[in-house]
Amino acid sequence: MEKFVIHGGNKLHGNINISGAKNAALPIIAASVFAGDVCRIENVPDISDVRMMIRILEFLGAEVAKPEPNVILVDVKNVTPVTIPDKMTSKLRASYYLLGALLSNFGKACVALPGGCYFGVRPIDQHIKAFEALGATVDVENAIVDVKADELYGSSIYLDVVSVGATINAMLAAVKAKGLTVIENAAREPHIVDLANFLNSMGADVRGAGTEVIKIRGVEEMHGCTYSIIPDQIEAGTYMVAAAAVGGDVTIDNVIPKHLESITNKIEDCGVTVIEYDESVRIISEGGKMKACRVKTSPHPGFPTDMQPQFAAMLCLCNGTSTVVEDVWDNRFKYIDQLRRMGANIIVNGDTALITGVDKLRAAPVEADDLRAGAAMVIAGLMADGETTVGNIKLIDRGYENLVEKLIGVGAEIARVNFEEE
């Protein structure tokens, strides 16, 4: 079993290059089924969730080539909407994007319920509501979602909650529906804009992505394109927080600073210097004793829930008591027990964690409870003196390309060790 072994305490100096965004790459790869021929997709992160999405597409009949690192050529000429089994969908949440994409392109899709990180109940009622609004019938039996329509018709879809996944599935289902679809109360994350740009590059007519109202006029035909995925907001944020927490001077390259504003603001609230350039951000931090702060997660442009665990790890050494409110998921504090093993002083009450800064974190064996919780453990390990091991790192590999190499590049001591071989 592989683990990360971290010797904490080193300050970080240098540059980290950010990969393509996981949460943009996954729907974009699913959406390539619309092309009818070949799409060249660039800046694709080499992470296990993306590899799984490619396997699902190949299972449907696509041919996927990798002519150079982080570039894929997806040929979807032979794709058919066969049932996607649980053993594939249980690995990642984004497998449900094939529901919207296959439904719109072939009039039917049969996809086992998705897996992904557990943050409490993860319903798909808003996805189903969107499909039904467009005229599809949806049956869920034996944990398989079966959705079909003779014809899809544009419609008005009001999402009762701001959902990234439901917004994306509604967009995918609508691109070939007859007439105009209006999605209201849409999520506004950068990856939604990226998906819209990709769909438009293939000939779709999607407007308003990045606002609360997305309008889609259905088209009959779409075509292949060349497209480059945006940088990963959460990967960038993770390294920004790592640099702030541990201390040093780190420049995070290949980012869109605008996408990072909510994270930048909160890091600055803690007394850390953040300098924005056109395509990079620089973090200059003493590390350790920064100011406590209050952070509440919310949909974009608010503070991302996917940065909550990493930020909480940083707050463990800040002066005073910080407040972290989780307002998106109902069960996203499980990892806090792991931080407590390292000496953190945290009280959780419902959706709120009160983190009182301690002098030091103690190195300890800890586990990644999920993808971002795992990233938080890596940050805590970098903050602690001594040797921390982080187990269950396959969850971290789902979303961070070359994490070990990137951290070593800025002076961290971290290694991937196979404990079975020892």
| Interface residue list for ligand UD1 (CB under 6 A) | 23, 26, 93-94, 122-127, 161, 163-166, 187, 305-306, 328-329
Amino acid identity of 108?
A: K
- Catalytic position from the list 39, 110, 117, 270: 117
**176, 105 in Cβ contact below 8 A?**
yes
Q: How many angstroms separate the CA atoms of 300 and 164, rounded? A: 10
* Residue (of 27, 29, 24, 328) closest to 170 by Cα position: 27
Catalytic residue status for 270: no
CB of 284 to ligand UD1, least distance (A): 29
> Could you tell me the smallest distance in angstroms from the CB atom of residue 21 to ligand UD1?
9
Longest CA pairwise span in the chain (Å): 64
Q: Per-residue DSSP letters for 71-118?
A: EEEEE-TT---PPBPHHHHTT-GGGGHHHHHHHHHHSEEEEEPP----
CB of 140 to ligand UD1, least distance (A): 12
Handedness of CA 395, 398, 399, 404 (dihedral sign): positive
Q: Name which of 120 and 179 has its Cβ closer to ligand UD1.
A: 120
What gap in Å lies between CA 322 and CA 345, rounded to an integer? Answer: 11
Nearer to ligand UD1, 329 or 333 (CB): 329
Which of 301, 411 has the CB closer to ligand UD1? 301
Shortest Å distance, C-beta 289 to ligand UD1: 30
Closest distance of CB 179 from ligand UD1, Å: 24
Give residue number: closest CB to ligand UD1.
165
Residue 247 falls in which region: left (phi positive, over 0), alpha (psi -120 to 50) or beta: left
Q: Which is nearer to ligand UD1, 23 or 338 (CB)?
A: 23
Q: How far is 226 from 314, CA to CA, in rounded Å?
A: 39
Query: What amino acid positions are annotated as catalytic residues?
Result: 117
